[in-house]
Structure 1
Amino acid sequence: MSPVPFECVVFDLDGTLIDSAPDIARALNRTLGDLARAPLGLDQVISMVGDGSTALLRRALLATGPELAGPEFQDALGRFLDVYYEESENPSCLYPGVTETLAELSVRGVALGLCTNKPERITRRLLGFLGLEALFAAVAGGDTLPVKKPDGRHLGWVIETLGGGRAAMVGDNANDVQAARSAGVPVVAVSYGYPRMPVGELGADVVIDRFPDLPEALARLPRA
């Protein structure tokens, strides 16, 4: 078993730990239906996720009709977040090996954190339903701080909350890689998520196809 040369590892959520696109699509389409707009296909939704709920809803609105602004948009955003909070009661499946691999890292003394652009209240609700909440010593959602990924301060806050030391990031898209570079930590990318570009072009230090391969991949990372 390869040693893990990091005191803490921080993870993205959507497309990295959980295949959440079906849940997001259901909530988004319920919201669009309330606005008398046509639903979006799953592939369309996947192409829109990763930058937080506000950006997601704006993209969905532009794809289905005129843009909303001001109070109209805020009302629609509030509706979407409430609907998604409800949908999170029945979360989609974790990717294979996630629970076991996270538990293994924790047992080996690695502090685990979560850095996602998903709203914090929905993130924590999902973690509870998925049985992962106890594994993460620090959680930052997209609305936890004044900044979010790709801003490195979002990731940096999680690392600091975990106690600092040698850290690594694990994600699936450009926001994760950019945040890691800005924070000065190495990054592993998974190949199965929602990268919105060829995963080989993300610029990650290592790419893995299976989450259980993560401990060995971490051992191959450069130390920041």
Structure 2
Amino acid sequence: MPQLQAVIFDLDGTLIDSAPDITGAVNKLLTRYSRPTIGVEQVRGMVGDGAPILLRRAFAATGAEIDPLASDEIYQTFLDYYEQQPSSLDSIFPGVPETLDLLLARGLKLGLCTNKPERVTTEVLAQLDLARYFESVAGGDTLPVRKPDGGHVSWVMERLGASKDGAVMVGDNHNDIAAARGAGIPVIAVSYGYPHFPTAEMGADAIIDHFTELPAMLDTLANR
């Protein structure tokens, strides 16, 4: 692999354990619509494909599916609740800030490509003091496409000025793998996130069990 220029990250399940915060916002929404609440582990299995799909899954699990005529109102109400949900510093996975600092010290550019809505992503990054790491951020509604479409990742790469030969994706589920493949770049999977099926079966170029293993794995990929 030629000289590495940039690393593009997923957010939920890769940098932060957002499931508890998402669960809080989802349950406020469900309560508003007279639905039973759901647990964190249920939410872990629902996230990764964007907020609209998350909400469809949550409503289907608690009764009738979302009325299409009410879907926009439900989505906007969820965004309001999520923005008001405080993000805990404890949600940052161990080793994330230190490792991102190390990558910046190496002269790498960092980008973020998430299916989380852009306005919520901006709020969460600000609350967790993570915004300062990323030169380019694409939320799930920033573009007409989102992961697993490779165009989502390619847009971040273009904003960073990174070529296909000089970028790597880091994520936790099948959408990250597919988007990286679509963008034509290697992908490293973390084993601790929100995969919908076994990480080893997702087809990543490499797997790490702890975020602090990332710099060494990037070196390993570079030497292949």
**TM norm. shorter chain > 0.5:** yes
Give 2:198's aligned residue: 198
The alignment covers a number of residue pairs equal to 221
In 2: Cα distance, 1:5 partner to 1:88 partner: 39
Residues 20 and 91, structure 1, Cα contact 8 Å, conserved in 2: no
Following superposition, which runs of at least 4 residues in structure 1 exceed 4 angstroms of deviation? 88-92
SS at match of 1:25: helix
Normalised by the size of structure 1, how large is the TM-score? 0.95
Please tell me the residue identity of whatever aligns with 1:122.
Answer: V
How far apart are residue 77 of structure 1 and its match? 1.3
The CA RMSD measured in Å over matched residues stands at 1.6
Give 1:220's aligned residue: 220
Give 1:180's aligned residue: 180
Give 1:85's aligned residue: 83
1:95 matched to 2:126? The reply is no
Greater mean deviation of Cα atoms: 211-220 or 67-76: 67-76
Gaps of 5+ in 1: none
In 1: Cα distance, 2:86 partner to 2:146 partner: 21
How far apart are residue 135 of structure 1 and its match? 1.0
Alignment of structure 1 residues 143-154 onto 2, 5 Å:
143-154=141-152
Alignment of structure 1 residues 80-159 onto 2, 5 Å:
80-90=78-88, 92-159=90-157
2:21 aligned to which of 19, 23, 41? 23
Residues 23 and 92, structure 1, Cα contact 8 Å, conserved in 2: no
Distance 1:92 1:72, change over 3 A: farther
Gaps of 5+ in 2: none
In 2: Cα distance, 1:171 partner to 1:141 partner: 14
In 2: Cα distance, 1:88 partner to 1:54 partner: 21
Residues 58 and 67, structure 1, Cα contact 8 Å, conserved in 2: yes
